[in-house]
């Protein structure tokens, strides 16, 4: 794999950097730089900016509106977004359901959904996990019964990220009860405004409303919104999860976060902390090369397989270690922190400016080794797919 930078690549990088410096939505930049949470419209504006620049389909095939970028260009693009402190690109449309639709959907579905995903005219969320069906996803119980030209869906989904903002949800549903639980599952697209859908918030330990429960009561969905064949949803689900896990590694964001940590701890003269940071930097560099090899294979027409599980495990472990090192660097100043909205305290945050936010980040990032398939499950996938165990 050749990852050397040609003159054309360097020019490409400068074009991305210049556009981010001069054309990036000002109100989004200001909030990002001040650490203020972005609202729904901010995220819409950000993604529409990506589309107007022709960047939205950065890893899509050209025939479906993608950029046709090389692995090096994709690498440079994602790094420039992280350096510019851009929000994370929402994965649900561009990196998850989009590839499923253009790979397994029919032409009518491609024509209907893909342009809106690229233009971010629709906000998508993911309906996979259920109460009691998380890591053992194939045990899901949400049912879809065919009634004429419609499916009637009953059941619930949980940990549904940003469902409160979503226009559409892609769901795994059980269309048949079989002896083998991976069979009889189908992949269907559902308009969130359909009668019978209820979204209830789940407030996480850091006080944020990021995830939700979604309930389906006699929800009528056109059969034309079934992707591929009925009962083949598990195949499509595994394909999607491989794409999701590839993105979870978030190497460029971790690189920027690590660089910031090194800058903030440069004068602490803590040799033990310096050693831990150096070890983490080595691990992150190794992960980056693994990601580049996988990215090169994807651009050549392959789909991420067990390699995405390796990226998911190591990427999330590194993210968690980063938050732990921020907490360690803040030391005793980590305790007085600003709690969730409505939290009242007469004490102002003390110590370095990164101390207070580090608590929320530490708590929030405990989830990363669980979502997208727990890291224990990923080890099983690697053992089976690579080692043949």
| Catalytic annotation, residues | 244
* 69 and 16 Cβ atoms separated by less than 8 Å: no
Q: What is the largest CA-CA distance in the chain?
A: 71
Task: Give the span between the Cα atoms of 347 and 350, in whole angstroms.
Answer: 8
Backbone angles phi, psi at 142, to 5 degrees: -60, 125
CB atoms within 10 A of CB 217: 13
Helix intervals (H) in 212-332: 233-248, 251-264, 271-299, 306-330
Burial tier of 332 (Cβ tally within 10 Å: 0-12, 13-18, 19+): exposed
| Residue 212 CA from chain centroid, whole number | 16
| Sign of the alpha-carbon torsion through 312, 318, 320, 322 | negative
The b-or-e profile of 11-32 (16+ CB within 10 A means b, else e) is ebbeebeeebeeebeeebbebb
Angstrom distances, CA of residue 33 to CA of 39, 84, 144, 229? 15, 9, 45, 46
* 152 and 144 Cβ atoms separated by less than 8 Å: yes
DSSP notation for 310-352: HHHHHHHHHHHHHHHHHHHHHGGGGSS---STT---SPPP-SS
């Amino acid at each position: 794999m050749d990852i050397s930078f040609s003159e054309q690549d360097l020019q490409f990088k400068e074009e991305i950097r210049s556009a981010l410096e001069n054309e990036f939505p000002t109100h989004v930049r200001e909030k990002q730089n001040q650490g203020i949470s972005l609202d729904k419209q901010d995220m819409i504006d950000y993604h529409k900016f990506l589309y107007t620049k022709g960047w939205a389909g950065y890893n899509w095939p050209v025939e479906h509106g993608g950029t046709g970028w090389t692995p090096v260009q994709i690498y440079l693009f994602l790094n420039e977004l992280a350096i510019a402190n851009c929000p994370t690109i929402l994965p649900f449309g561009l990196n998850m359901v989009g590839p499923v639709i253009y790979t397994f959907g029919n032409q009518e579905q491609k024509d209907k959904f893909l342009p809106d995903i690229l233009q971010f005219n629709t906000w998508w969320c993911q309906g996979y996990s259920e109460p009691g069906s998380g890591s053992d996803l194939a045990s899901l119980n949400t049912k879809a019964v065919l009634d004429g030209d419609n499916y009637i869906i009953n059941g619930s989904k949980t940990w549904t990220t940003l469902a409160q903002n979503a226009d559409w949800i892609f769901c795994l549903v059980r269309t048949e009860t079989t002896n083998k639980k991976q069979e009889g599952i189908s992949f269907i697209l559902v308009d969130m405004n359909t009668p019978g859908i209820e979204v209830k918030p789940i407030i996480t330990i850091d006080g944020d409303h990021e995830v939700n429960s979604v309930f389906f009561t006699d929800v009528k969905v056109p059969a034309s919104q079934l992707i591929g064949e009925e009962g083949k949803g598990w195949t499509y689900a595994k394909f999607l999860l491989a794409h999701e896990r590839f993105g979870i590694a978030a190497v460029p964001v971790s690189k920027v976060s690590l660089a910031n940590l090194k800058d903030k701890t440069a004068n602490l003269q803590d040799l033990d902390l310096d050693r831990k940071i150096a070890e983490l930097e080595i691990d992150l560099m190794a992960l980056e090369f693994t990601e580049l090899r996988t990215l090169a294979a994807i651009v050549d027409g392959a789909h991420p397989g067990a390699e995405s599980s390796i990226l998911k495990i190591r990427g999330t472990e590194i993210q968690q270690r980063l938050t732990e090192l921020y907490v360690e660097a803040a030391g005793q100043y980590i305790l007085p922190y600003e709690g969730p909205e409505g939290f009242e305290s007469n004490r102002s945050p003390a110590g370095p400016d990164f101390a207070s936010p580090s608590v929320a980040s530490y708590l929030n990032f405990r989830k990363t080794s669980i979502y997208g398939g727990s890291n224990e499950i990923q080890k099983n996938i690697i053992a089976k797919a690579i080692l043949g165990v």
